Amino acid sequence: MARHCRSPGCTAEATQYGAYCTSHKSTLRRHGDADQRGITKADLKAPLRAIRGRIERNSGNPVWGQSEGRWREVVGHARAVLARQGAGSAYARQAASETVKLAEAVEAREIMATAFAVYLMADQQPRRFLSDTAFRVQLVRRLRGLTEANAGTWFDHKTGRTKRVYRELPPQAAGVMGEWIAKAFGAVGLFLARMDREQREAAALKADADRVKMAEALEALQ
């Protein structure tokens, strides 16, 4: 008897040895959850603008340099993993290779800001991330997307156009890399997200109070 895909609402047959259909199995591998939608550059535009604004307004605060220092520690660890030549898991070596490649292609400040923006988006739109694993995979995908080194091209004869394709990491390697990135930026990213939420809530309360005062003033008119 055929088994249906485990994803809610999907009526397709599951693969022979898996719990999901071919489509959801591919999504699970690429995005960290069978129902996770990829976080795009456009999705991150507003959170990234907010993070850059906070960095600019607090340019003298040492937390930015400290966060970049944590990232350099991660890169140093990745280089050490690669230097061991064959020691450790293949997934750790692949994560290390991708980490070094990212560090060599993109400024630490841009990597830091993008990571913080993902944390901010997760706080503002928690339903966009279906699990902790999906969050870390999306974090890795957005950082790897900062460099063209992870994109290839192919020619579509049907449209006559050259198209770009993203080179995926195995989910195990993405998990390792995501864990390293979280160690570098997670604590500050969560703090910034909480600060942004509290400030927005305070602004909303003030706006409500201002509306009440205006209503009272209007009622007092004679």
Q: Do 92 and 184 lie in a common domain?
A: yes
Q: Do 8 and 73 lie in a common domain?
A: no
Q: Do 19 and 96 lie in a common domain?
A: no
Name the pTM for this structure: 0.84
Q: Do 131 and 27 lie in a common domain?
A: no
Centroid of chain to Cα 78: 20
Q: Do 2 and 112 lie in a common domain?
A: no
The number of folded domains in the chain is 2
Q: Do 91 and 179 lie in a common domain?
A: yes
Provide the β-strand partners of residue 153. Answer: 164
**Measured distance CA(45)–CA(43) in Å, rounded:** 6
Give domain status of residue 30, yes or no: yes
**Measured distance CA(58)–CA(52) in Å, rounded:** 10
Give mean pLDDT, residues 82-108: 91
Any idea of the CA torsion for 171, 176, 179, 183, to the nearest 10 degrees?
Answer: -150
The 10s digit of each residue's pLDDT in 121-159 is: 999 999 999 999 999 999 999 999 999 876 666 666 777
Question: Residue 85 has what pLDDT?
Answer: 75
Q: Do 172 and 121 lie in a common domain?
A: yes
Give domain status of residue 173, yes or no: yes
Q: Measure Cα distances from 143 to 9, 15, 68, 102, 218 in Å.
A: 32, 31, 14, 8, 52
Tokens of 101: 């490649």
The 10s digit of each residue's pLDDT in 12-70 is: 888 878 888 878 787 777 888 777 898 999 999 999 999 999 999 999 999 999 999 99
Q: Do 28 and 102 lie in a common domain?
A: no
Question: Residue 153 has what pLDDT?
Answer: 65
The 10s digit of each residue's pLDDT in 157-212 is: 777 776 666 678 888 999 999 999 999 999 999 999 999 999 988 888 888 887 88
Domain range holding 121? 39-206
Q: Do 1 and 59 lie in a common domain?
A: no
- With 90 as the cut, is the pLDDT of residue 216 above it? no
